[in-house]
A and B are shown apart, each in its own frame.
Chain A
């Protein structure tokens, strides 16, 4: 069976958790004891009706405050597909957790309350999903029941969003009018919206084509570790272990080792179930070469005719997570593929206003939840592609060495 990874995002109170609860409930993915527990907890709090958000707000603090702080992962399946759904926080304060959920998603559900239209947080999330290269965006125009299921109300939001999206780099945007509370257009086509000709949400989720979303063009293999059994049964075995970042590798093909530029041929590729005729993203494999090259973690295999950029100066967009602002005089630890090195932010070119998508405030400090275009200087060269072309070799994180926390995500230009 297929697997689709998706997120729900949007402003607080636009109905994310209700939609998620509805999806889980209508696909019969809520177990009886979970449902009993949610009903009990809701009744104890004195809620007028069962709060579906309690299905995913699993932390004590979330349940006490009635907000989502961190991503909750939920799993459900239909006969067509299995889904991993990351329910992301809507609060501005927890944007870093939303980005955590979004980094591995293939599709985003963006909730909009039809009465309120686009808010700054709707725009922020729409922008972040496209920045992170989630190719499929489904704008869920929710709470249609509160506007009498009127077509004009839906179209107003759609037009508003399209005007904003013109400046985004989104590949595939769809709009579904719905009421998550009443189940309109979630699993079944709703008779209350006869003017809507499109499919209900679940059908879209089951059928959206994501087969060509991964990069199968540029061969990149970041060395994770080297496997050498100290075993008389395999005295000469020396395998390079790692996950295929992109492209396709086959036995017999010539590869180039970076940084040395030496070439070798692939003697064999071993997968979890044995030898492979080809390997592609996201397979975890062990590659044997036909001759001994000095290969270690953080280095890369590519093809002689298709190599990544190699440089220690690069341009990137940073999403800043830490409550301590970016300090250009400081050294940060940078992790990119399997490589770790030191870096410094040489120059903040501009910050981005996500509502207007205008450049601004180059001089103000880069603070939590800011998006900033920067130039980076690294201590060792990186082997990279632009994030647009390659989600695996274009992504990085920055780590503060004094606290060991992840302070930023970076997307290479």
Chain B
């Protein structure tokens, strides 16, 4: 018998397509959570393949914090247009203006947590039964525990101590009205798998991921991009460095790393040799030991 062999990247792609199609069949209204970052764009690309030659039936849903990098927003719009997706944007500012959330104050103020209200409002407004996300289990220790079909109660909350058993490739997406699911087709991908896939599929990427010169502020061991969102503190100054970003979040909580990696092969080599996790540059994860779990319980991405 000939060898029936698939590479790990092929296996992961087949698994992800199965999950995406299963979400389509089990949920009447589904959207892809799209940040413009590498994981969400791989998810959108996989979702597109899952229904080819038909169009992908899911729109992209972007929660715009108002603190995004301009490069990310430009990429978001271009990607949606070029890949034929309907793009739905819901700004955090509108949630604040409606009095449903208030900006944090203090030195480390960020809109990271505020997004949750805007996201849950959008899920209710669009009557979504499921939101597909590009989260991966290798990113963070709470995500390492989460199911592929992950239940959220009517308040959008995750109950990590009481998750449904999830066996084989049989996904149980049954729910009551008002509840929803988060579905993570890329659960088993690693950061390196994402980069290998981006290279194999030759997908476009925000320029932030590639090495460039930028004005940065060093604060608490993290290199933040200098911007009007991040006023200098007494004694601080900015300087120019050659950097790139490993994750793309808000300007107020995403750190850059020193890097000369200007091409996909160079980035892959850098990621393979990295001694820090990609979320090590995220100030939002460092607020406490269980910061991610605490935010996820409330309905965060």
Report A44-77 CB contacts with B as 1/0, cut-off 8 Å.
0000000000011111110100000111111100
Give the shortest distance, in Å, between A387 (CB) and chain B (any CB): 10
- The CA of A405 and the CA of B25, in the complex, are separated in Å by 19
> Is B180 on the interface with A (CB-CB < 8 A)?
no
Residues of B within 8 A of A60 (CB): 290, 293-294
B167 touches A397 (CB 8 A): yes
**In chain A, what residue has the closest Cβ to B9?**
A1
With a cutoff of 8 Å between Cβ atoms, the chain B residues found around residue A324 in the complex are none
Q: Is the interface of A mostly helix, strand, loop or mixed?
A: mixed
Chain A contacts with B in 13-44, Cβ cutoff 8 A: 31-34, 37, 41
B275→A32 contact, CB < 8 A: yes
**B168 close to A104 (CB less than 8 A):** yes
B239 → chain A closest CB, angstroms: 23
B274 at interface by CB-CB < 8 Å: yes
CA distance A280 to B4 in the complex (A): 7
Contact residue among B7, B13, B138 (Cβ-Cβ distance under 8 Å from A272): B13
Which stretch of A178-186, A228-236, A259-267 is in the interface? A228-236
Shortest Cβ gap from B201 to chain A (Å): 9
What does the 1/0 interface line of B1-31 toward A look like (CB < 8 Å)?
A: 1011111101101110110011011000000
CA distance A69 to B49 in the complex (A): 36
Contact in complex: B8, A224 (CB < 8 Å) = no
| B164 contacts A406, C-beta separation under 8 Å | yes
User: Does B263 make an interface contact (CB < 8 A)?
Assistant: no
Interface pair A335/B11, CB less than 8 Å apart: no
Beta-carbon contacts under 8 Å, B128-148 to A:
137-138, 140-142, 144-145
Q: How far is the CB of B284 from chain A (nearest CB, A)?
A: 14
Cβ 8 A contact of B289, one of A63, A216, A270: A63
Chain B facing A: main interface SS:
loop
B98 at the A interface (CB under 8 A): no
Contact A284 B142 (CB under 8 A): no
Chain A residue nearest to B136 in the complex (CB): A75
- Report the stretch among B33-41, B110-118, B171-179 that lies at the interface: B171-179
- Interface size bucket, A side? 35 or more
- Given A229-B54, A282-B14, A405-B164, the answer on whether A75 and B6 have CB atoms closer than 8 Å is no
Q: Is B258 an interface residue (CB 8 A)?
A: no
**In the assembled complex, A395 has its CB within 8 A of some CB on chain B:** yes
**Bound complex: CA A272 to CA B176 (Å):** 34
Q: Which of A31, A100, A231, A233 contacts B275 (CB 8 A)?
A: A31
A201 interfacial by beta-carbon distance below 8 Å: no
Report whether B49 and A2 are in contact in the complex, using a CB–CB cutoff of 8 Å.
no
Query: Complex: how many Å from CA A60 to CA B142?
Result: 9
Residue in chain B with minimal CB distance to A69: B161
Nearest CB on A from B200, distance (A):
9
The CA-CA distance from A33 to B22 in the complex, in Å, is 36
User: Chain B: which residue is nearest A394 at the CB level?
Assistant: B168
Chain B residue contacts of A336, Cβ below 8 A: 170
Task: Please give me the residue from chain B that is nearest to A404 by CB atom.
Answer: B174
CB-contact partner of B145 in A37, A41, A71, A399, under 8 A:
A71
Assess whether A297 is interfacial by the CB under 8 Å rule.
yes
The CB with the most chain B CB atoms within 10 A, among A99, A234, A406, is that of A406
Q: In this assembly, does A103 line the interface, its C-beta being within 8 Å of a C-beta of chain B?
A: yes
In the complex, are the beta carbons of A225 and B21 less than 8 A apart?
Answer: yes
A222 to chain B minimum Cβ distance, whole angstroms, is: 10
CB-defined contacts of A314 to chain B, threshold 8 Å: none
* Chain B residue at minimum C-beta to C-beta distance from A55: B141
* Chain B residues in 8 Å Cβ range of A74: 138, 144
State the Cβ distance, A63 to closest chain B Cβ, in Å: 7
Task: Determine if A1 and B8 form an interchain contact, defined as CB atoms under 8 angstroms apart.
Answer: yes
Residue contact B165 to A321, C-beta cutoff 8 Å: yes
Tell which of B49, B163, B169, B190 touches A70, judged by Cβ atoms closer than 8 Å: B163
Assuming the A-B contacts A31-B280, A63-B289, are A224 and B22 also in contact, with contact meaning beta carbons closer than 8 angstroms in the complex?
yes
Given contacts A33-B280, A283-B14, contact A231 B54 (CB under 8 A): yes
B166 contacts A by Cβ under 8 Å: yes
Q: Which A80-126 residues have a C-beta within 8 angstroms of B?
A: 82, 84, 96-97, 99-100, 103-104
Q: Provide the bound-state CA to CA distance between A245 and B168, in Å.
A: 11
CA distance A286 to B5 in the complex (A): 19
A399 to B245, CA, bound (A): 44
A317 at the interface (CB under 8 A from B): no
Please indicate the chain A residues that have their CB under 8 angstroms from the CB of B18 in the complex.
Answer: 224, 243, 282, 284
Interface residues as binary, B168-197 with A (CB distance below 8 Å gives 1, 0 otherwise): 111010111000000000011010000000
A287 to chain B, nearest CB (A): 13
Contacts A73-B144, A214-B4 known; 15 new A-B pairs at CB < 8 A? A3-B8, A33-B280, A41-B289, A57-B141, A59-B142, A61-B161, A63-B290, A72-B144, A74-B138, A224-B22, A227-B53, A282-B18, A404-B172, A404-B175, A409-B167
Residue contacts A-B, CB under 8 angstroms, 5 given = A57-B141, A211-B5, A228-B54, A243-B14, A335-B172
